[in-house]
A and B are shown apart, each in its own frame.
Chain A
Amino acid sequence: MADDSKNTIGPAKNESTVFEIPRYSEWRRITRVLFSRKLYAIGFGIVVFIILVAIFAPFITPYDPLKPDLHHRLELPSSEHWLGTDTLGRDILCRIAYGARTSLIVSISAVLLGNFIGIIMGIAAAYYGGLVFTLIMRFTDALMAFPSILLFILIAGIASTSGIAGGGGLPVLIFALGFGGIAGMCRMMCGLALSVKQNDYVLAARAIGMGGWRIMRSQIFPNAFPPLMVMFTMGIGGMVMAEAGLSFLGIGVVPPTPSWGSMIMDGMSYLLTNPVLSLAPGVAIMLLMFGFNMFGDGLRDAVDPRLRGVF
């Protein structure tokens, strides 16, 4: 009886008795799940579309996003200017297209910076445990006790005039958003690393004499990678919102660089006569965030082991 079950399930001795399990590459499986639901595909499509717009902005817009045209100030939407013009006569649609550049550059770099530091702190906390764990986790607790926008405001305020990270413009914003985003990533990474650490291969790695740093880099990090990818994608969506918020408050992107948040603020005084000025850039923010959120949801479904086989 024991032999029977061994023959069918165990390692293949006889080709004909083995079940053929169709093998997919991980990449193929992920793409299949990602495009299995319409919403996920739409999200992915939106992200790709906006990235393309950002890259090819100079080729698809006939206007200069920075050059004022005082003869055509505050025009309503027309065939010349599809969404009208702002207080300095600049084309709104054109500025929205260039704003995608600002938004994507800031949010992606900020997430990269925050994740890099957060991941290192998180893995170290989980791997070493004890005092290191307590110190790092309580520190993140303290950082998370502020509403994130407040932390961004403070750091952006400090960085913009104290000369850290160039003293103004995009680098400051990336620095502020990135540092503000460390705590969340650190928490996430720590949780993942704690569970990955329990695996036998980590023990094996230690047994063959691997150093702590090498185990963290070559064993723990790759095995925690898929959920991190989801965090990364979702994180970009959050940063798009944060950048817009800071720019709206006037401490983000420095004019005249086009930014969706500052465009909303500029249009605020003309809300009664020309609401498109404020409302149109907001639609762009929502589209991009929606795209990243749905794309992230799809990725999560694709990499979450609990959901494997369901699709």
Chain B
Amino acid sequence: MTAYIFRRIIIGIFVLLLVTMIVFLLVRLLPGDPLVIFLGQSYTGQQQRITQAEYEALKHQWGLDRPIFVQYFDWLSHVLRGDLGESITVRTPISTLIAERMPRTMYIGFITLMFSSVFGILAGIVCALRRGSWLDNSVTTAANIGMVIPVFWLALLLMYVFSYKLHWLPTSGWISPFDDFWGHVKCMIMPFVAVGVGSVAGLARIVRSCMLEAIAADYVRTAWAKGLTEKIIVIRHQLKNAMIPVVTMLGGSLAMIMGGSVFIETIFAIPGIGLLTMRALFDQDYQVVQATVLMFGLVIIISNLIVDLVWAWMDPRIRFT
């Protein structure tokens, strides 16, 4: 197991390095000269023109005249020391911006993941145990529909019904749970539901089919033959085996939820990483885009690593190959 963990972590670091390279290259390919954008941001309104020599000097000062590899390693070494650069639009260190907003996005992501896995897995198990019943049929149909509801559409629908028509919930905004917990809950209900429905539906479908596969397995028949009770068979034999593919799904679910946060934060005006990314992209503040995309990648790689370790812990076949 130790060797397996070690190997997984090495692979994780390797992938993370690749991620930094992809992010760096993609952002370098984004349109616009960062210097021109910087100058445009700082000198708008002033009738000041910059000479070619001054431009070159600035370029040299920022290191933009060096080969791209050198720039990459320079950036990487800064990132490793926690220095992500400075936002050219708001003139604050990016690490401050991220430290302020990251917890909100992570909070939405993990709470949604927690709730959606509980509901999704429960729904899937119930469906599999009562296969063919009206309950199974209605939950499966609901899951099939839930999978195709666009996050942004559901968000608008909820907003229309619960804010505009019923006046139960505030339309948008962010209230810190430490300031006003009840207000915070009211604010967050719609975002959680909108972003979670898709993954609940997806998980329910997967769990159902995995459980059905496990029902037909030999070890379940053996367990029945041994005279074990239904409860033990379902929980210890069926469920444990059916969960193996489900655990790998959870990583993907988190990625989906984090992606959904871009929409949710835009619609509900929640100041998180998703909203920051969109704003920065439209403002051509690419340093920020680079940093936020890297953060998304980091979260997902780490959670995939955890998923892999849990997977190996559950299934000895993985860690011994």
Contact = CB atoms under 8 A, between A and B. Distances in A.
Interface of A: 39, 138-139, 141-150, 153-155, 157-158, 160-162, 237, 241, 244-245, 248-249, 251, 261, 264, 268, 271-272, 275, 278-279, 282, 285-286, 289-290, 293-294
Contacts of A245: 150-152, 263
Given A153-B281, A154-B26, A154-B293, A148 B255 contact: yes
B262 A153 contact: yes
**For the complex, would chain A's binding face be called helix, strand, loop or mixed by DSSP majority?**
helix
A212 B43 CA distance: 59
Contacts of A39: 144
Nearest to B259: A147
Contacts of A162: 29-31
A141 B15 contact: yes
Contacts of A142: 15, 18-19, 21-22, 297
A294 B141 CA distance: 11
Contact of B30 (A157, A244, A293, A294): A157
Contacts of B296: 146-147, 150
B18 A138 contact: yes
A158 B30 contact: yes
A169 to B, nearest CB: 16
Most A Cβ at <10 Å: residue of B148, B263, B293? B148
A58 B214 CA distance: 51
Given A141-B15, A146-B293, A148-B259, A285 B160 contact: no
Contacts of B164: 271-272
A285 B153 contact: yes
Contacts of B32: 161
Contacts of B266: 249
Interface string B130-161: 00000000000000110111111100110110
Interface in B1-22: 11, 14-16, 18-19, 21-22
B278 interface: yes
B133 to A, nearest CB: 17
Contact of B153 (A141, A251, A279): A279
B256 interface: yes
A264 B277 contact: no
B304 A145 contact: yes
A86 to B, nearest CB: 15
B157 A279 contact: yes
Contacts, number: 132
B278 A249 contact: yes
B148 A147 contact: no
B145 A146 contact: no
A279 B150 contact: no
Interface string B251-283: 000011011101100110000000001100100
Interface in B21-55: 21-22, 26-27, 29-32
Contact of A146 (B14, B21, B278, B300): B300
Contacts of B258: 147
B246 interface: no
Contacts of A139: 18
A275 B160 CA distance: 7
B289 interface: yes
Contacts of A237: 148
Given A145-B16, A158-B30, A248-B263, 11 more contacts: A145-B297, A147-B259, A148-B255, A150-B262, A153-B278, A154-B30, A162-B31, A245-B152, A271-B159, A279-B157, A290-B144
A241 B150 contact: yes
Contacts of B277: 150, 153
10 contacts: A142-B22, A145-B304, A149-B263, A153-B262, A153-B277, A248-B263, A278-B153, A279-B153, A279-B160, A286-B148
B26 A149 contact: no
B167 to A, nearest CB: 12
B78 to A, nearest CB: 20
A78 B63 CA distance: 62
B275 to A, nearest CB: 11
B301 interface: yes
A248 B152 contact: yes
Contacts of B151: 245
Contacts of A154: 26-27, 30, 289, 293
The 4 A-B residue pairs with the shortest CB-CB distance in the complex, in nearest-first order: A147-B259, A282-B153, A161-B31, A142-B18
A141 B22 CA distance: 12
A147 B255 contact: yes
